[in-house]
Amino acid sequence: MSDKAVRWAKDSDGVAIVTLDDPNASANTMNDAYKQAMGEVITELEAARDELSGVVITSAKKTFFAGGNLDDLSSAGPDDGPAVFENVTEVKAQLRRLEKFGKPVVAAMNGTALGGGLEIGLACHHRVGLDARGVVYGLPEVTLGLLPGGGGVTRITRMLGIANGFMNVLAQGQRHKPQKALELGIIDELATSTEETITLAKAWIAANPEAAQPWDKPGYKIPGGAPSNPKLAAILPAFPANLRKQLKGAPMPAPRNILAAAVEGAQVDFDTALRIEGRYFVDLVVGQVSKNMTKAFFFDLQAINGGKSRPDGYDKYTPRKAAVLGAGMMGAGIAYVCAQAGWEVVLKDVSLEAAEKGKAYSEGLVAKGVKRGKVTLEKGEALLEKITPTADYNDLAGCDIVIEAVFESVELKQEVFREAMKVIEPDALLCSNTSTLPITELAAGIERPGDFIGLHFFSPVDKMPLVEIIKGERTSDATLAKAFDVTLGIRKTPIVVNDSRGFFTSRVIGTFINEGVSMLAEGIDPQTIEQASSQAGYPAPVLQLMDELTLTLPQKIRKESQAAAGDAWVAHPADAIVDTLVDLGRTGKSGGAGFYEYVDGKRVGLWKDLRSTFHATNHDVDLHELSERMLFIEAIETQRCFDEGVLETVPDANIGSIFGIGYPAWTGGVVQYVEGYPGGVAGFVKRADEFRDKYGPRFDVPKSLRERATA
Ligand code: NAD
């Protein structure tokens, strides 16, 4: 065992086998140890060049190489730009020495290679990938607000062309399965074992003794042409325009920097292109958005998926047979994801017809998947066979988990649990998908409240990545551990919260919607309100979202909350707007009319009388302030959730807000937004106080946050 992160040895065929193996970490990253060792190894290889027939780079870890060192990158401050540039320039210079080695250099990528890991591969003359389950290849930096600064933008652009490289690899940061990576051309051939990656790599070396990169050979041209090529020049201006359209003005600098580095880099020589890429990389590293996104999509997600909220000491739980009660919109989707996980599913509704209608949802998804080549017919049919629709409780015999998704009524939910519990396994896990009813109250009406837990899915279930797990007062640790495993089993991200009205997600999204609707009460033009939410980075404009959720829902929740609050109840300026629209019969999308007009269920535009009905004549507005009000009100409500013990951890809040209720990704989530606000927590509190003075006490930050601001 070497104490170095990179080591090498010459094998009996005269091939240098370079092994990436950081002794201090479970995965290889581009940390100082890597840089130091890689530099030394390359120097030694250069000295031994004449005795070598080529170089194979492999890894001793489970993954090939994990990528950049995110601890270092996310701690870089605004003054660290020059140091970051120097560091990345050195990493690139090393890779450049490798690709100009004068002998064939092949990457035997015997596991997942993302970001910096793939960039090492791209600097090799040939890449052998591993065709195994779970292995992925790609440059996901954009999803962390960064760009591939280890030569990734420059090499992908020269390998695949500007348009192809940007769209398929760089702009969205897709993680490609091995077969897809091969089709795209970022991997050259596939092996089925680590040994075979090396055998194939060596065979390639033997057949290509004169290997060099295409861009280092005379007469090289970028596929699809350089930006000056008339065909490309004709379509290129559409790229930034499309990007702006997609981002709708949200402050996401990474895609723009990637495009600029690719296009500018394509007009100069290779080494200048690397420097241009470096400048755009540094610009992102020292900015706040990459810190926000790295915190959420790397550190927070890692903490959650690593099981920080799962009680220790319980065996992994995998259900065999799931009962899904209610085959409506939610139940149908839940049945699908359970069957997809490989579990038997009994889908129960009041009539066989209703249950079959629920199963038809899965049939539709499977048919679509088969048509698009995402799933084979055989696998699709096997999935459908797992779902048994029924109206008979007796068919629930043997089920070891129940997921209930009937109408939102305490009595009905308790009744269906009682009936099901007569036939299911005596220790079956009991889950409710209620979106508003307190779990403790539901559990009180049934036997075994310790086995009862909230499993709050989001619509559409097959697409939305989050499940909010809600612990009732009597929910046991064993139950929580099982619910956590179930959520990971259906490949969703679990957040864990304590019981409360609206839990965390429904409660916080309610404040966003109310804020948007209250702007209408201030006489602000509805189009401006929609624009403000899009510009903040929300995936759906606020009034459109309200229509989707239906306007009677906040009325119902308001009634319940008002009853619970008694004299402490404070009316919201949005209430009157919602009531007026409901009185006019405009209850939202499902009712065929709301803030918007609908024709055959399709949204066709804002209701033409919306402006006049609410006297929208106030044009003296600051769009940025409107956006901030939406982001602030959700952040403040989140702090209240912490103070009341509904939320326990920051990762749950950040990831829950982005994955569950569309809080803008660039913020890093609803807590990170406060932390990363200009001036930090104190800056946030100062701005919130301005909003409180202008718009009322709903913007009054909790004492806990004020204390943190002064600490
Ligand atoms: P839905 O009206 O589409 O479906 C409810 C289904 O329950 C219907 O098919 C109904 O026939 C069936 N049902 C009624 N009584 C039954 C009984 N005794 N036995 C079996 N089935 C019975 O409603 P939905 O939108 O799917 O919501 C279901 C639950 O999920 C609610 O508690 C809701 O609050 C919650 N939820 C909804 C959403 C959403 O976006 N719609 C999101 C999260 C949670």
Where do the domains of the chain lie?
Answer: 6-286, 321-501, 506-710
Q: Give the pLDDT band of residue 436 (cuts 50, 70, 90).
A: confident
> What dihedral do alpha carbons 407, 409, 414, 419 form, nearest 10°?
-40
Does the beta carbon of 689 lie inside 6 Å of ligand 1?
no
**3-class DSSP state for residue 147?**
coil
What's the mean pLDDT in 527-546? Answer: 96
Rounded Cα distance between 152 and 224, Å, is 18
Which residue has the least CA distance to atom 20 on ligand 1? 349
| Cα–Cα distance list, 29 to 23, 105, 127 (Å) | 11, 20, 19
Quote the tokens at residue 377.
């017919």
User: β-strands 344-348, 321-325: how paired?
Assistant: parallel
Does the beta carbon of 416 lie inside 6 Å of ligand 1?
yes
Q: Does residue 317 surpass a pLDDT of 90?
A: yes
Cα 377 to ligand 1 centroid, rounded to whole Å: 30
**3-class DSSP state for residue 331?**
helix
Closest by Cα among 157, 162, 117 to 138: 117
The answer to whether the CB of 521 falls within 8 A of the CB of 614 is yes
Rounded Cα distance between 642 and 705, Å, is 10
Which residue has the least CA distance to atom 1 on ligand 1? 328
Closest by Cα among 391, 388, 374, 589 to 462: 374
Q: Across-strand partners of 348?
A: 325, 390
Q: Does residue 1 surpass a pLDDT of 70?
A: no
Architecture of domain 321-501: 3-Layer(aba) Sandwich (3.40)
**What end-to-end distance do the CA atoms of the chain give, in Å?**
47
The answer to whether the CB of 199 falls within 8 A of the CB of 139 is no
Which residue has the least CA distance to atom 3 on ligand 1? 328
Cα 647 to ligand 1 centroid, rounded to whole Å: 26
Quote the tokens at residue 593.
């009319």
Handedness of CA 97, 99, 100, 101 (dihedral sign): positive
Cα 441 to ligand 1 centroid, rounded to whole Å: 18
Cα 475 to ligand 1 centroid, rounded to whole Å: 23
**3-class DSSP state for residue 107?**
strand
Does the beta carbon of 327 lie inside 6 Å of ligand 1?
yes
Cα 389 to ligand 1 centroid, rounded to whole Å: 15
Which residue has the least CA distance to atom 42 on ligand 1? 458
Q: Does residue 417 surpass a pLDDT of 70?
A: yes
> Going along 139-211, which residue ranges are E strands?
189-191
Does the beta carbon of 407 lie inside 6 Å of ligand 1?
yes
Atom from ligand 1 closest to the CA of residue 432: 32
Q: Using CB atoms within 10 A of its CB, is residue 106 exposed (0-12), middle (13-18) or buried (19+)?
A: buried
Angle at 461 between CA 459 and CA 466, to 5 degrees: 90
Quote the tokens at residue 615.
């006297």
Does the beta carbon of 330 lie inside 6 Å of ligand 1?
yes
Residues with Cβ within 8 Å of residue 398, at least 6 apart in sequence: 320, 321, 424, 425
Cα 119 to ligand 1 centroid, rounded to whole Å: 48
User: β-strands 6-10, 15-20: how paired?
Assistant: antiparallel
Kind and range of the H or E element at 19?
Answer: strand 15-20
CA 124 from chain centre, in angstroms, equals 31
Rounded Cα distance between 105 and 260, Å, is 30
Does the beta carbon of 405 lie inside 6 Å of ligand 1?
yes
Does the beta carbon of 459 lie inside 6 Å of ligand 1?
yes
Cα 326 to ligand 1 centroid, rounded to whole Å: 6
Does the beta carbon of 408 lie inside 6 Å of ligand 1?
yes
Rounded Cα distance between 553 and 162, Å, is 48
The answer to whether the CB of 336 falls within 8 A of the CB of 413 is no
CATH assignment of 6-286, given 3.10.129.10, 3.90.226.10, 3.40.190.10, 3.30.565.10?
3.90.226.10
Closest by Cα among 574, 673, 599, 585 to 632: 673
Cα 370 to ligand 1 centroid, rounded to whole Å: 28
Best residue among 407, 439, 504 to mutate for probing ligand 1, ranked by most atoms within 8 Å of CB: 407
Does the beta carbon of 331 lie inside 6 Å of ligand 1?
yes
Angle at which helices 253-265 and 152-160 pack, to 10 degrees?
60
Closest by Cα among 116, 19, 101 to 52: 101
506-710 in CATH: which number?
Answer: 1.10.1040.50
Does the beta carbon of 503 lie inside 6 Å of ligand 1?
no
User: β-strands 596-599, 602-606: how paired?
Assistant: antiparallel
Atom from ligand 1 closest to the CA of residue 351: 11
The answer to whether the CB of 692 falls within 8 A of the CB of 338 is no
Rounded Cα distance between 176 and 182, Å, is 9
Q: Give the pLDDT band of residue 544 (cuts 50, 70, 90).
A: very high
Atom from ligand 1 closest to the CA of residue 416: 18
The b-or-e profile of 270-304 (16+ CB within 10 A means b, else e) is beebbebbbebbbbbbbbbbbbbbbbbbbbbbebb
pLDDT digits (tens, 9 = 90+) for 52-106: 999 999 999 999 999 888 998 999 998 999 999 999 999 999 999 999 999 999 9
Angle at which helices 526-536 and 542-549 pack, to 10 degrees?
100
pLDDT digits (tens, 9 = 90+) for 102-152: 999 999 999 999 999 999 999 999 999 999 999 999 999 999 999 999 999
Rounded Cα distance between 446 and 433, Å, is 16
Q: Contacts for 223-228 with beta carbons within 8 Å, 24 or more apart?
A: 223/159, 223/160, 223/161, 223/164, 224/161, 224/162, 224/163, 224/164, 225/161, 226/266, 226/267, 227/162, 227/263, 227/266, 227/267, 228/267
Best residue among 325, 330, 661 to mutate for probing ligand 1, ranked by most atoms within 8 Å of CB: 330
Cα 135 to ligand 1 centroid, rounded to whole Å: 38
Does the beta carbon of 326 lie inside 6 Å of ligand 1?
yes
Best residue among 406, 458, 513, 560 to mutate for probing ligand 1, ranked by most atoms within 8 Å of CB: 406
Does the beta carbon of 505 lie inside 6 Å of ligand 1?
no
Q: Give the pLDDT band of residue 561 (cuts 50, 70, 90).
A: confident
According to the model, what pLDDT value does residue 620 have? 84
Atom from ligand 1 closest to the CA of residue 549: 40
Does the beta carbon of 454 lie inside 6 Å of ligand 1?
no
pTM for the full predicted model? 0.94
With a pLDDT cut of 90, the percent of the chain lying above it is 90
Half-sphere exposure for 546 (CA within 13 Å, toward CB): 33
Rounded Cα distance between 516 and 375, Å, is 41
| Cα–Cα distance list, 152 to 107, 141, 155, 174, 225 (Å) | 15, 10, 5, 14, 19
Q: How does DSSP assign 473-525, residue by residue? A: TT--HHHHHHHHHHHHHTT-EEEEEE--TTTTHHHHHHHHHHHHHHHHHTTB-
Closest by Cα among 476, 467, 486 to 443: 476
Cα 458 to ligand 1 centroid, rounded to whole Å: 12
The per-residue pLDDT of the chain, averaged, comes to 95
What's the mean pLDDT in 637-658? Answer: 97
Q: Kindly calculate the radius of gyration of the chain based on its CA atoms and give it in whole angstroms.
A: 28
With a pLDDT cut of 70, the percent of the chain lying above it is 100
Cα 457 to ligand 1 centroid, rounded to whole Å: 12
Cα 515 to ligand 1 centroid, rounded to whole Å: 28
Rounded Cα distance between 349 and 351, Å, is 6
Best residue among 336, 350, 455, 553 to mutate for probing ligand 1, ranked by most atoms within 8 Å of CB: 350
Half-sphere exposure for 694 (CA within 13 Å, toward CB): 11
Best residue among 324, 325, 329 to mutate for probing ligand 1, ranked by most atoms within 8 Å of CB: 329
Does the beta carbon of 533 lie inside 6 Å of ligand 1?
no
Best residue among 357, 396, 435, 459 to mutate for probing ligand 1, ranked by most atoms within 8 Å of CB: 435
Q: Give the pLDDT band of residue 232 (cuts 50, 70, 90).
A: confident
Q: Across-strand partners of 432?
A: 404, 454
pLDDT digits (tens, 9 = 90+) for 618-633: 888 999 999 999 999 9
Q: Across-strand partners of 599?
A: 602
The answer to whether the CB of 298 falls within 8 A of the CB of 143 is no
What is the identity of the amino acid at 628?
Answer: E
Cα 374 to ligand 1 centroid, rounded to whole Å: 29
Cα 433 to ligand 1 centroid, rounded to whole Å: 9
Does the beta carbon of 325 lie inside 6 Å of ligand 1?
yes
Cα 311 to ligand 1 centroid, rounded to whole Å: 30
**3-class DSSP state for residue 146?**
coil
Closest by Cα among 419, 362, 427, 360 to 395: 419
pLDDT digits (tens, 9 = 90+) for 482-502: 999 999 999 999 999 999 988
Does the beta carbon of 329 lie inside 6 Å of ligand 1?
yes
What's the mean pLDDT in 357-365? Answer: 98
Does the beta carbon of 460 lie inside 6 Å of ligand 1?
no
